Amino acid sequence: MKLMKIGMTLQVAAVALRMAVTPALGQAPVIASFGQNGELVCTNLQPGSTASVEWASSVLGPWTNSWTGLAAVTADSNGVFRVSVPMFYRVRGVPAFPPFQAPSNMVWIAAGTFTMGSPTNEPARYFVEGPQTAVTISRGFCMGKHEVTQGDYLAVVGSNPSYFIGDLRRPVETVNWNDATNYCAVLTAREESAGRLPAGYVYRLPTEAEWEYACRAGTTTAFHYGGALRSGMANFDGHGEYPPCGGESYYCYNPSGIDLGRTTSVGSYAPNAWGLYDMHGNVWEWCQDWWSSSLPGGSVTDPQGSPTGSDRVFRGGGWDSLAYSCRSAQRRYFPTSRYYYFGFRVVLAPGQ
């Protein structure tokens, strides 16, 4: 814990910035902050998130957040707040960065809240995309920048089941949910044995809520690109663009749209605002959850889907899909079967 003086009082201040909870202690790791001239300056918070300032009359505590006006302080657009503070203090908040060095092929997704599902007036909406639900993702996680490639899968499992071969940078496909979760388990065991996993973290499939949160990357439109998906913006059947037109309910027909009829190398199209590629199209992506025919509604934290079921959720659309099937809120389900439409990406997150 870092020690320093506040202003001219010559009192020693204990400064600790703590973030979203950890499974064991209910508290998160410490990151940097500092006090100057009676002012506490906290950096590296998630922009717009809420933090609380704690104080004590001694550096040894006990600590409380009973200061009027400082129990809930909002970080500015740069992830910073400044407050005048007496006595000894520390801060709990939401981290903007992981408490470890994220793997180079992954993106850190900070904790936050978003609206899951589609509004009732979104064209081509299915009823299973509602009711819209306020979802809080309470802990940050790392997500693969790309869908798991054939090269990735081959290196971990030792085989390549894909139909569209010839380029190991293409996503692995013709994998079922069990294949995907087995990949995660083998990768976790390998990285843990090599000492490359943070304590308590595992590789797994994203929950459906984590997937949509990451796909949207702060957007509320039908796609993270905006309200439209046109031929050439992603790998899908470009004959059926979005939004619908010409009296059609689901698509806008483009006779010269691009339909490759196969997967493409990951990262061939522009990423979303959080640096994730191919969240729309290329291959459908398995999620952790059992299928439920509706979203929970209201406000929930870290939803896990149905506790039991016979089908698993997949998201994102594929190379064979029309644009409306690639929307951020589009939900589909299937038994754990293998088809050349199905792939996956992984997250690195605390074990469930």
What is the chain's pLDDT, residue by residue, as a tens digit (352 residues)?
232 222 222 222 333 333 332 333 334 333 334 344 467 788 778 888 888 887 776 667 777 777 666 778 888 888 888 877 655 656 666 666 787 888 999 999 999 999 999 999 999 999 999 999 999 999 999 999 999 999 999 999 999 999 999 999 999 999 999 999 999 999 999 999 999 998 899 999 999 999 999 999 999 999 999 999 999 999 999 999 999 999 999 999 999 999 999 999 999 999 999 999 999 999 999 999 999 999 999 999 999 999 999 999 999 999 999 999 999 999 999 988 899 999 999 999 988 7
Task: Return d(Cα 230, Cα 246) in angstroms, integer.
Answer: 15
| Res 341: pLDDT | 96
The structure tokens listed for 188 are 């976790």
| Res 336: pLDDT | 83
| Res 25: pLDDT | 30
The answer to whether the predicted template modeling score (pTM) of the entire model surpasses 0.85 is no
The structure tokens listed for 107 are 């993106």
| Res 88: pLDDT | 61
- Domains of the chain by start residue, with CATH: 2-93 (no CATH), 106-350 (3.90.1580.10)
Under 8 Å between Cβ of 242 and 324: yes
| Res 80: pLDDT | 85
